[in-house]
A and B are shown apart, each in its own frame.
Chain A
């Protein structure tokens, strides 16, 4: 295809992505370096027979002018990155000096909002991803040995947790684990603790969110692995059997190596997707105990005062995090491409 034809074919989609993805990324980087103007304050001295009083008023006009002339606000460089709500550089130095041992240091850092969100996001990402891989793999193996007629039905029901919006899925589960809901009451009965509530403790909230994450993501790995199982080389399995491999050994030495490319694919995709975990926290109303980076941004943007600079800074930091996770994906795509063009 000629360059010119390509250009016209590609123009609409390219302009959409430039305007609404590339430009906003650029814009948040700029925004994160500025902070809103302080109001211009005039101090006037009012004197009456009883003495003089200093009065401060906001000069509305000057404030407006200032905002108009520099709509981005005041340039502060990396100050917002260093403040308490983000990387908290000074606080960390203090904590480092004051803490006696590493455990104390870690606990104190846990009190800083950004690091708390970071801790949850990373824990979520790196527990949900392996668990969903294992769980999805087991479901795929089990479904694969089912009778043909049952497979379609099983796949239908298995798709449901993945296809519904995370917000809906988490709400549905949230109502069931409510202390007055069916699972909540069952847990109270099992643990013989009538006051047990999953919402009350940080640990249990995290477990709840992780269980939700696996429930939501397992169908994806199941479907992909199931498709992979259909292309299993039967003669290799046969020969493994003749050599006396047990079922477990067949799975370990033949099936898993065969599925390895798919496993890496699902794992890499899931690392990126789990890193943006957000809706479940809204659905489970879990923000008191678990905050993710995305929720952190959402919180800054919502409400009466939209803290754009702060949200932009968190966004940039989140994007840096995503980029680190993205790196292996890019390397893999690069290798794939080179392999193909070498052929």
Chain B
């Protein structure tokens, strides 16, 4: 299948190319279209009269004097304080990734180096926890969080997201650590290191590829979460996802939709850049779980 591409009959070659182009359009066109449309006014991007308006923007030109307008972005970022949500998301992502990697590497390392049966049961428990839809846990958080005035704070959400993230992090790091030969830290221990010293001086220097890959997925979870953040954060502390959802809620008044469009584009842009730089790690992370099971 791999080196046969030259021998493919021409008809098959053509249909494969058509299919790939078709798939690429499906996958990428919505984003390109929305990026383009975010610089128009609503009457053009959502044009009842003619879809070509979104391309040539006659109304935008008539109203704003040019084919492109940053009004949507100004409205979202300045008028509706989207910048605040961006800062909140940055904080949440930073601390979620930091904390879950710290406690995850310790736990994952321990799981990969212990040969007792209980490691298996711990991994199974983690798998069961991983299967729980996060929203089902929220009802359990609300009462105590109200009672102790923990509700609405970024810190609380960070801890909850870290915990929800742990099962996945553990599984992934566990399989990465298993690929690091045990002899490395065994020999350090023979030389008189404690387990922690062996971890610190021998394992930490070689664990980064696995940790970076796991970190990317922790980041994605924190960045993309809507269920938890929308339920646990107060109005002022909202991250980007609940903020965008609230744009949708505040009735579809003229222009407000374009705020949401601009916010969506602003949210997607960092992910774009991330995929560009870390494509290999993301692919390897996705397949690591699969190959290992």
Contacts and interface: CB of A to CB of B under 8 A. Distances in A.
Interface in B23-71: 23-24, 26-28, 30-31, 33-34, 37, 45-48, 51, 54
A223 B286 contact: yes
Contact of A10 (B30, B111, B141, B195): B111
Interface stretch (A37-45, A101-109, A164-172, A202-210): A164-172
A178 to B, nearest CB: 6
B124 interface: yes
Contacts of A182: 33, 51, 54
B88 interface: no
Contact of A333 (B110, B124, B141, B248): B124
A1 B132 contact: no
Given A5-B195, A20-B159, A160-B27, A223 B287 contact: yes
Contacts of A22: 129
A173 B30 contact: yes
B167 to A, nearest CB: 7
A200 interface: no
A16 B34 contact: no
Main secondary structure of the interface of A (DSSP, over half): helix
B121 to A, nearest CB: 10
B188 interface: no
A158 B143 CA distance: 42
B26 A142 contact: no
Counting chain B CB atoms within 10 Å of each CB, the highest count among A14, A17, A319 belongs to A17
B132 A21 contact: yes
Given A9-B107, A154-B24, A164-B268, A146 B5 contact: yes
Given A31-B143, A159-B282, A301-B138, A165 B231 contact: no
5 contacts: A25-B132, A163-B220, A163-B271, A180-B48, A278-B133
Contacts of B224: 164-168
Given A139-B23, A171-B244, A330-B124, A144 B220 contact: no
B68 to A, nearest CB: 18
A315 B139 CA distance: 8
- Please classify how large the interface on chain A is, using the bins under 10, 10 to 19, 20 to 34, 35 or more: 35 or more
Given A21-B129, A163-B275, 11 more contacts: A5-B196, A17-B163, A20-B163, A25-B136, A160-B27, A215-B27, A223-B283, A227-B286, A265-B289, A282-B226, A308-B143
A141 interface: yes
Given A10-B107, A265-B290, A301-B231, A168 B4 contact: no
A343 interface: no
A297 interface: yes
Nearest to A148: B5
B190 interface: no
Main secondary structure of the interface of B (DSSP, over half): helix
Interface of B: 1-2, 4-5, 8, 12, 16, 19-20, 23-24, 26-28, 30-31, 33-34, 37, 45-48, 51, 54, 102-104, 106-107, 109-111, 113-116, 120, 122-129, 131-144, 147, 159-160, 162-164, 166-167, 169-170, 195-196, 220, 223-227, 230-231, 241, 244-245, 248, 257, 260-261, 264, 267-268, 271-272, 274-276, 279, 282-283, 286-287, 289-291, 293
Given A13-B106, A155-B279, A163-B220, A322 B139 contact: no
Contacts of A21: 129, 132, 137, 163-164, 166-167
Nearest to A275: B133
Nearest to B162: A16
Given A17-B163, A182-B51, A3 B116 contact: yes
B142 A306 contact: yes
B59 to A, nearest CB: 13
The 7 closest A-B pairs by CB, nearest first: A24-B140, A20-B163, A165-B224, A9-B110, A13-B107, A276-B133, A27-B140
Interface in A227-271: 227-230, 232, 234, 237, 247, 250, 255, 261-262, 265-266
Contacts of A213: none
Nearest to A19: B163
Contacts of B45: 175
A165 B139 contact: no
A13 B166 CA distance: 7
A143 interface: yes
Given A17-B167, A215-B26, A326-B128, A156 B116 contact: no
Nearest to A329: B127
A232 to B, nearest CB: 6
A279 to B, nearest CB: 5
Nearest to B30: A172
Contacts of B223: 165
A13 B111 CA distance: 11
A333 B128 CA distance: 11
Interface string A262-300: 100110000010011011001001000000001001101
Interface in A98-155: 138-139, 141-147, 152, 154-155
